[in-house]
Amino acid sequence: MATSINPRPALPPFSLRPARRSEQPTLANVYARGFWKDVLFGDYIHPYREKYPADNDLYWLRRMQVEWWDWTHRFIVSTVNDEKIGKEIVTGVAHWARLGPEGAKKYGLRWWDPRRIILPLSHLYTSITSCFFPNRAAHPDLEDVIERAYPFINPWTGSREESWYLEWLAVAPEYHGQGHGRALVQWGLDRAKEENICASVIAAYGKEKFYENCGFNNTAGTAGQGEGNPLADTPGGVVYFRDVPWESNGLANGHDSSLTNGLRQKS
């Protein structure tokens, strides 16, 4: 069900709705273009993206093809209606995941559900196709750097075990500044609020203020922390939470501004 949003009278209206599987290549392209200039997903992981732009899309497509089949994940898109061509355009995409054992019970498939087989099969499919069609836009040693860094980060413990986690968010560059990003973030914040649990995100470099403006009120380290973390020298990656209680506003006591001040100055 699409939700029509008119953020400010001066800005064109847009809608939010769940993404369709047939849109995966479009969403991958929005991600690739959105993260094109990002220090981590652009220059660091994909130094050859100018030469192989389609392979850069492939990176995002393969992630999506696997995680699409995890029922605790949700892909939400923002769209506009282009009246000139009479067509709906996907302008942004947010990939939210419901973390935690309660989330798995509530949204995941039961142990006996035959659809559970699709997730490992899609993993296998992407591994095999990656061998035949490697991502030539990526640095060969860095394509899996995110996966290698994940074991070093686990802020989802204690009262934060249950969380709506924003895995990836991007708005197509030509639609920046029209409220689409904030609305896609708000979608997950609303789900977290409904369940009275926290929301979380790992902010890309330079996006700290954006998430703080969206309502994330605590920080919990960075994605590069821990000895031997392959992201140790990569800027950004501040882990943000929008903690409960939902009634309170503003930055909570646990917010460590030293994590973000330096990043903000550089951005």
Ligand X SMILES: CC(C)(COP(=O)(O)OP(=O)(O)OC[C@H]1O[C@@H](n2cnc3c(N)ncnc32)[C@H](O)[C@@H]1OP(=O)(O)O)[C@@H](O)C(=O)NCCC(=O)NCCS
* Site residues for ligand X per CB under 6 A: 34-35, 38, 169-171, 176-182, 203-204, 206-207, 209-210, 213
CA pair distance 54, 47, nearest whole angstrom: 13
CB of 8 or CB of 84, closer to ligand X: 8
DSSP-derived pairing of the beta strands 73-82 and 87-99: antiparallel
Residue 204 CA to residue 214 CA, distance in Å, equals 14
Shortest Cβ 30–ligand X spacing (Å): 8
Nearer to ligand X, 44 or 125 (CB): 44
Q: Could you tell me the smallest distance in angstroms from the CB atom of residue 201 to ligand X?
A: 6
Q: Is the separation of the CB atoms in 31 and 19 below 8 Å?
A: no
Element (H, E) at 253: none
Q: Which is nearer to ligand X, 39 or 118 (CB)?
A: 39
Residue 122 or 137 with smaller CB distance to ligand X: 137
Q: Which long-range contacts (CB under 8 A, 24 or more apart) does 112-120 make?
A: 115/69, 115/71, 118/69, 119/66, 119/69, 119/70
| CB of 132 vs ligand X, minimal distance in Å | 29
Q: How far is the CB of 34 from ligand X (least distance, A)?
A: 4
CA atoms within 13 A on the CB side of 172: 15
Nearer to ligand X by Cβ, of 169 and 199: the residue is 169
Dihedral pair phi/psi, residue 91, rounded to 5°: -105, -25
* Residue least distant from ligand X (Cβ): 181
In the bound complex, what is the minimum distance in angstroms from residue 131's beta carbon to ligand X? 29
